Structure formats: C-alpha cells, structure tokens
Amino acid sequence: MQIRSESPQTPPGQAVVLRGHHLLCQFGFRGYGYSPAFVENMRNILAFLREHPETMVECVDGPDSLCAAYPAEEPNHCLEPSVIARDRAVLSQLATTAGTRQPWARLVEAAAHAYVAEDLTTLCATCEWLPLGYCQMGLKQFKAGKHSRSAPP
C-alpha cells in the first residue's frame, strides 16, 4: 500500500486523502506529533480543511496525506493491522467505506455525532497519544460548541 500525499491546496475535483481514525485525531490535535515536519503537515492540512469545509475528503483505511510526513527514521506504524482496524472501525461507525468522498464538514459532524469521548478509550487503546486526553477533551469541546473550527495551533 502506498502513501498518497496531496497538497493541502487540493485542486478542484480532487480530494484530500484521510484515514478513518484521523477523523477523530483532528479533535485532539494540539501541535504535537512524531516530528516537526509531521506536525507542520498536520497543521497545514487541518487549517486548510477548517478554512474550506466544503473540501472533499477521500476516506481510506490505510496511509493518507498525514502519514506522508511520518518520519522515515521512525518505526512506521501506518500499516500495522491495529491501526488499519481502527480506520475501518471508524469508517464503519460513520456508515461509510474506504474510497468514499464526502465534504470535510459533513465528516467532522458525523464523527462528533457518532462518538462520545469515552468511546476513544477502547477504540484508541493502543494509540500513544490517548493518555494525554486531548482527543477526548477536543471531542467534548466540539460537541459543546467550544472546539475551534478554525486553524489548529
């Protein structure tokens, strides 16, 4: 499986490619990541999507536009079965499948509607970022109308 990398400035008719579980990670992004390049890539993509909520997103159950900036020197977890299973679980919960394209705003609202913060404890049990609690807090804030829909930090 190849990582597909698109510029955040996606040309009309093309979609930003995001894996299922990254639809949940976006609630908790606080400017931390695997490397400065990864953080910058995620910040840029999320800022673009939040500024252009009508942008089409192609859902995948594997590496995506965010994974494209994963550090080459780190052990790559993007293809691990548990991570792909998490993608598929999220897509299933959102009643969609890999290859589906939907507007960013619709996917974010669907993810916020489909999950409560406590769900992430089980779904994301193997995620190294889970103990920080950012995703759970961000999801709660989004549901309360307090989560920033603008550019991430």
Q: Which residues of 46-63 are buried (b: 16+ CB within 10 A; e: fewer)?
A: bebbbebeebbbbbbbbb
Task: Give percent above pLDDT 90 in the chain.
Answer: 75
Average predicted confidence (pLDDT) for the chain: 87
Beta-strand runs (E) in 1-153? 16-19, 56-60, 101-103
Pick 5 or 46 by higher pLDDT: 46
pLDDT digits (tens, 9 = 90+) for 40-68: 999 999 999 999 999 999 999 999 999 99
Give Cα 95 to chain centroid, integer Å.
16
Residue among 88, 126, 94, 128 nearest 108 (CA): 94
Per-residue confidence band for 1, with pLDDT thresholds at 50, 70 and 90: very low
Cβ contact 19:85 at 8 Å? no
The count of other CB atoms within 10 Å of the CB of residue 125 is: 10
pLDDT, residue 41, reads: 96
Which residues have a Cβ under 8 Å from the Cβ of 146 and sit 6 or more positions away? none
Helices 104-114 and 134-143, interaxial angle, to 10°? 100
